[in-house]
Amino acid sequence: VVDGRKDFIVFDIGNQYPHDLDLVRQVNGDLFSRIDVDMVNTYKYKRLHSLPWYWATLREGDCLFIPASTFHQVRA
């Protein structure tokens, strides 16, 4: 983080990929979430209930390594 604060939510999906869980859609080779992050429908995406997740708050000078294909959300 260069300036300010960012909050990260990271889901541990193990060896699965987000598209295997039907959580993403692919457009021109890029992956986009199917989930409305402002109002998550946990009835539609029931698999989210069983996934362990982590919350991290980063401030100026902090960094967080997020492996490829890790399902995450960032709030700045």
Cβ pair 8, 68 in contact under 8 A = no
Q: What are phi and psi of 48, to 5 degrees?
A: -65, -30
Task: Band the pLDDT of 17: cuts 50, 70, 90.
Answer: low
Tens digit of each residue's pLDDT (9 = 90 or more) over 59-71: 999 999 988 778 7
DSSP bridge partners of 6: 58
d(CA 53, CA 13): 9
pLDDT confidence of residue 70 = 80
Task: Please tell me which residue, 39 or 6, carries the higher pLDDT value.
Answer: 6
